[in-house]
């Protein structure tokens, strides 16, 4: 039943409204300055780079020359169609791959840079996506992110919680109220730079935004290593 509903959604709203109108929906905030923020978050990108949840490719014009190989990934068929149109005649050579952030068809330690804008709000669970990002990054490699997040003001956060159910369907499974900074802090990546900002001209409930850079540490973070160890000990002691 859920599958049927999702199919119907993808064939109607998902295709014609969410993917079909995505650039039009964002035109106002891009014009108010989101476009500059895209350029800002991508500025440190270099080397072999992969973007996750690329959508219609709004980041594409902002990749710096230091990026020498660019792979764009996107799992959602209606978005992939839009992305194909946009990349077809683009001057930068890019490779388009249909994949979700949780399972990337690349070996461990393959990328210098992983970039993603506004996807941790949409993936079903951010943790597997962050683990996969860490896996495909070289040690010392960087994850560049731009995300709208849970508002620090409890009154606005409460509004986000109320709006969430409807927003989820409007925004193709987007969550406007996720505590993404906390999720990143608890991940195995190390936050190197974090800028708390606002999505210019956006509605209050999707206004809080962060831009930043996290790195795959050369040695695992102490808290994450300790938790992995305790799991290992628990497994050793397990009678099951
Ligand atoms: C809010 S849109 C952002 C699109 C684009 N990154 C941008 O900045 O305009 C969220 C994107 O995440 C994609 N997405 C959904 N589930 C995903 C997953 N499991 N892994 C990666 N991307 C996913 C959606 O298809 C959509 O393109």
Which residues share a beta bridge with 67? 47
Q: How many residues does the chain have?
A: 240
Q: Which atom of ligand 1 lies nearest, measured to the CA of 59?
A: 8
pLDDT at residue 40, rounded to an integer? 98
SS3 letters across the chain: CHHHHHHHHHHHHHHHHHHHHHHHHHHHHHHHHHHHHHHHHHCCCCEEEEEECCCCCCCHHHCCCCEEEEEEECCCHHHHHHHHHHHHCCCCCEEEECCCCCCCCCCCCCEEEEEEECCCCCCCCHHHHHHHHHHHEEEEEEEEEEEECCCCCHHHHHHHHHHHHHHHHHCCCCCCCCCHHHHHHCCCCEEEEEEEEECCCCCHHHCEEEEEEEECCCCCCHHHHHHHHHHHHHHHCCCC
Q: Is the CB of 147 under 6 A from ligand 1?
A: no
Q: Residue 240 — very low, low, confident or very high, per pLDDT cuts 50/70/90?
A: very low
**Mutational test site, ligand 1, from 34, 55, 170, max ligand atoms within 8 Å of CB:** 55
d(CA 45, CA 40): 10
CB of 53 shorter than 6 A to ligand 1: yes
Number of Cβ within 10 Å of residue 17's Cβ equals 15
pLDDT value at 231 more than 70: no
Mean pLDDT value across residues 115-129: 98
Binding site membership of 120 for ligand 1 (Cβ less than 6 Å): no
Q: Is the CB of 19 under 6 A from ligand 1?
A: no
With 0.95 as the threshold, say if the pTM is over it: no
pLDDT reading at 44 higher than 50: yes
Range of weakest confidence among 61-65, 138-142, 166-170: 166-170
pLDDT tier for residue 15 given thresholds of 50, 70 and 90: confident
Identify the CATH number of the domain defined by range 27-236. Answer: 3.40.50.150
Average pLDDT on 228-239 reads 49
Query: Comparing 64-73, 87-96, 117-126, which segment has the lowest mean pLDDT?
Result: 87-96
Atom 8 of ligand 1: nearest residue by CA position: 117
Model confidence at 221, pLDDT cuts 50, 70, 90, reads: confident
Q: What is the pLDDT of residue 106?
A: 98
Give the residue-averaged pLDDT of 150-155: 98
203, pLDDT greater than 70: yes
Write out pLDDT tens, residues 101-116: 999 999 999 999 999 9
Q: How far apart are CA 228 and CA 84, in angstroms?
A: 40
């Amino acid at each position: 039943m859920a599958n049927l509903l999702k199919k119907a959604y993808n064939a109607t709203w998902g295709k014609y409204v969410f993917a079909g109108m995505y650039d039009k929906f964002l035109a106002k905030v891009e014009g108010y300055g989101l476009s500059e923020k895209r350029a800002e978050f991508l500025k440190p990108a270099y080397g072999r780079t992969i973007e996750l949840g690329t959508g219609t490719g709004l980041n594409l014009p902002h990749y710096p020359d230091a990026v020498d190989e660019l792979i764009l990934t996107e799992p959602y068929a209606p978005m992939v169609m839009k992305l194909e149109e946009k990349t077809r005649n683009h001057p930068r050579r890019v490779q388009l791959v249909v994949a979700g952030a949780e399972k990337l068809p690349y070996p461990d330690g393959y990328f210098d840079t992983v970039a993603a804008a506004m996807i941790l709000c949409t993936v079903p669970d951010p943790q597997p996506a962050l683990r996969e990002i860490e896996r495909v990054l070289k040690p010392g490699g960087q994850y560049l992110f731009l995300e709208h997040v849970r508002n620090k003001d409890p009154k606005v956060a409460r509004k986000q919680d109320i709006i969430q159910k409807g927003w989820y369907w409007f925004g193709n499974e987007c969550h406007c109220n996720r505590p993404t900074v906390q999720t990143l802090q608890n991940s195995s990546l190390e936050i190197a730079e974090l800028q708390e900002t606002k999505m210019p001209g956006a509605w209050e409930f999707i206004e809080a935004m962060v831009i930043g850079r996290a790195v795959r540490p050369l040695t695992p973070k102490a808290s994450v290593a300790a938790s992995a160890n305790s799991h290992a000990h628990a497994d050793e002691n397990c009678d099951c």
